[in-house]
Amino acid sequence: MKIGAELYRGKAKSVLDTDDADFVVMHFRDDTSAFDGEKKEQLARKGEVNNKFNAFVMQRLAAGGVPNHFERLLSSNESLVKRLQMIPIECVVRNITAGSICRRLGVAEGMDLNPPTFELFLKNDALHDPMVNEYHIRSFGWASDEEVARMKSLTFRANEILKAMFKDAGILLVDYKLEFGRFHGEVVLGDEFSPDGCRLWDAQTRNKLDKDRFRQGLGGVVEAYEEVARRLGVSL
C-alpha cells in the first residue's frame, strides 16, 4: 500500500491518503493544543505514546464489542485505520465531574455521577464546540436517529470496558470524548482514545494523569501519559 498526501491536518494528528479506498494513515504528531488551539506546544514523544496507547485501547474496545477504525500499527507514530466518513459530533461520558460541566452547572470537581452523564457537542472550534442535542443533530442532518442511538450505546459500552481496564491499573476514568464515522454504512468508532481526550486520575491520590496537566500548566505531561501506559501494560 502506498502512502500519499496529507488529506487533513488536525491539531495533534494528520490523516494521510493511501492508494486503498478503504484505508488512511493516522499520523500522531508531538503537537499539543488546548482551549480550541489557543495554547500550543510540542511535547517530545507524545505522538509515539499516543499512537501506541490508542492502538492498545482500540484493540481492547474491538474485543469488547465496540467496532472501530483501528487496523494496525505502521510505525512508532503512525497507524493504519479504516477510511471513515466522520460524523461531526463529540460524544462525552462523565463518571466524575470535572472540566466544562463544573463551569456550566456550577458544581464542584470530583463528584461521582451515578448514573454517568452523556453529552453531545458539535465539532466546531470557531464556535467552541457548542453543546447540541438529538434534535439539532436530526434537524441539521448531521446524523440519523439510528446513528445517534448507536453512537450512544457504543459510547456507554466503551465506558464499561474502559472503566474496568483503568480500575485494574489503579486509575479512575473521570470522563472521555469519542467520535464516530461511517464505514460501508456502519457506525464505527474513529479518531483516537488517548490521555489527550479523556480525564484519568490516580485512584489513590487523585493526581491528574491526562491533558489537564497541559491545560493547567502542571508539567510532566508526557511522563504522566507514559505512567498510565506502563500501568496498563502498553509496550512503548
Q: Which residues contact 113 (CB under 8 A, 6 or more apart)?
A: 94, 95, 96, 97
- Provide the 10 A C-beta neighbour count for residue 165: 18
Q: What is the DSSP letter of 216?
A: T
Beta bridge partners of 85: 182
Least CB distance to ligand UDP at residue 152 (A): 15
Please say which residue, 84 or 209, places its beta carbon nearer to ligand UDP.
209
| Phi, psi for residue 120 in degrees, rounded to 5 | -120, 135
Least CB distance to ligand UDP at residue 200 (A): 9
Least CB distance to ligand UDP at residue 101 (A): 6
Least CB distance to ligand UDP at residue 133 (A): 15
| Phi, psi for residue 15 in degrees, rounded to 5 | -110, 125
Least CB distance to ligand UDP at residue 4 (A): 27
Q: Which three cell numbers stand for residue 53?
A: 496507547
Please say which residue, 18 or 100, places its beta carbon nearer to ligand UDP.
100
Q: What residue ranges bind ligand UDP (CB under 6 A)?
A: 90, 92, 99-101, 129, 175-177, 197-199, 211
Please say which residue, 46 or 199, places its beta carbon nearer to ligand UDP.
199
Distance CA 104, CA 75 (A): 41
Please say which residue, 79 or 95, places its beta carbon nearer to ligand UDP.
95
Please say which residue, 175 or 227, places its beta carbon nearer to ligand UDP.
175
- What is each CA distance from 97 to 25, 101, 199, in whole angstroms? 34, 7, 10
Residue with nearest beta carbon to ligand UDP: 99
